[in-house]
């Protein structure tokens, strides 16, 4: 499965990301197909794979996405979560988001879109972390709005691709970049799970 970059960002060596040479946003984060504008939070419903086959690790207990049970983080909790996640961000992310505020905004959206009791980066891999933010219209994929460096307008991309770019090790990231520019498959078979550890390195 996907491995987290466990070195604190300040102790990692900076390097030039090979994937950021030409149209980095499309190459790294993928592109939504035409007509795949994200649905708003109020329109997401409960889709996304309840009842699907789970991986062996999750077979003992079935986790179900339940919007009625969603508990958003407070502003203080969001800031605390961001500070914790920033310690594990890979140098490629800090180089790509040359303005720290841009990366902080992305981390804010990730914190807002997941439950206050769950952690999509550092949480136990035995449990799904469900997405309660924007979802694509056509195929119920977790989606996020973010501003590309050097641009003012927001773009929409897939949450699991953003997570991999921000936190995956070099080895895992290089394998993921060989896959189609689509949302990554999740080992739990639920595409509205956004747990970093559930991202599959194969199609």
158 three-state secondary structure: strand
The vertex-172 CA angle with 146 and 194, nearest 5°, equals 45
Single out the residue of 127, 101, 97 nearest to residue 115, CA to CA: 127
Q: Judging by DSSP bridges, how do beta strands 38-39 and 135-136 pair with one another?
A: antiparallel
Domain locations in the chain as residue ranges: 68-198
Which residues of the chain fall below pLDDT 70? 1-62
The vertex-112 CA angle with 98 and 101, nearest 5°, equals 20
Res 3: pLDDT: 60
Q: Do 172 and 3 contact (CB within 8 A), yes or no?
A: yes
Q: Do 24 and 162 contact (CB within 8 A), yes or no?
A: no
**From start to end of 50-186, where are the E strands?**
135-136, 143-147, 154-158
Q: Do 189 and 50 contact (CB within 8 A), yes or no?
A: no
Compute CA 136 distance to the chain's CA centroid, rounded to the nearest angstrom.
Answer: 14
**From start to end of the chain, where are the E strands?**
38-39, 135-136, 143-147, 154-158
Note the pLDDT tens digit of each residue in 117-170.
Answer: 999 999 999 999 999 999 998 889 999 998 777 778 888 899 999 999 999 999
Single out the residue of 173, 166, 171, 85 nearest to residue 123, CA to CA: 85
């Amino acid at each position: 499965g996907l491995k987290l970059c466990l070195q604190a960002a300040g102790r990692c060596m900076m390097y030039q990301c090979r994937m950021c040479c030409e149209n980095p946003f499309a190459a790294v984060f993928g592109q939504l197909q035409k007509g795949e504008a994200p649905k708003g939070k109020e329109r997401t419903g409960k889709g996304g794979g309840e009842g699907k086959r789970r991986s062996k690790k999750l077979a003992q207990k079935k986790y179900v996405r339940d919007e009625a049970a969603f508990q958003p983080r407070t502003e203080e909790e969001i800031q605390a979560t961001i500070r914790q996640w920033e310690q594990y961000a890979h140098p490629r992310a800090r180089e790509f988001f040359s303005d720290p505020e841009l990366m902080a905004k992305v981390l804010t959206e990730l914190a807002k879109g997941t439950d206050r009791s769950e952690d999509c980066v550092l949480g136990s891999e035995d449990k799904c972390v469900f997405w309660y933010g924007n979802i694509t219209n056509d195929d119920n994929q977790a989606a996020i709005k973010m501003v590309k460096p050097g641009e003012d307008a927001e773009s929409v991309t897939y949450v699991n691709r953003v997570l991999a770019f921000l936190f995956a090790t070099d080895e895992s990231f290089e394998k993921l970049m060989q896959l189609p520019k689509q949302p990554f498959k999740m080992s739990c078979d639920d595409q509205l799970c956004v747990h970093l550890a559930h991202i599959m390195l194969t199609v």
